[in-house]
Amino acid sequence: MLGPGSVSTVDTQSNRISGSVNLGRPGTDPFDIAVTPAAMYVASQAAGTVTVINPNSSKITASVTVGNSPYGIAVSP
């Protein structure tokens, strides 16, 4: 089985996990994350998607199907 279907959020003041964002079933395999001030972008290898997360609310704002096994992601603000 591939990785979990979630990513953890970290409180940068305490350096502790403060929550998680569910991206789908286990095996979705979030693989890479790119961050801008406005959004976090998560490439999920097994799901073939990029999920966009609002960094202030930790809510998913979009999920885009991108094809087989996205292994990386880069964004420019």
Unique residue bearing structure tokens 């350096």: 15
Strand pairing report for 16-22 and 30-35: unpaired
Q: Which CATH class is domain 6-65?
A: mainly beta
pTM of the model as a whole? 0.86
Cα 70 from Cα 65, distance rounded (Å): 10
The domain segmentation of the chain, as residue ranges, is 6-65
pLDDT of residue 3: 72
Q: Please write the tens of the pLDDT for every residue from 12-71.
A: 899 999 999 999 888 888 889 999 999 999 999 889 999 999 999 999 999 999 989 898
Distance (Å, rounded) from C-alpha 65 to C-alpha 73?
Answer: 13
Check residue 63 and give its pLDDT.
Answer: 95
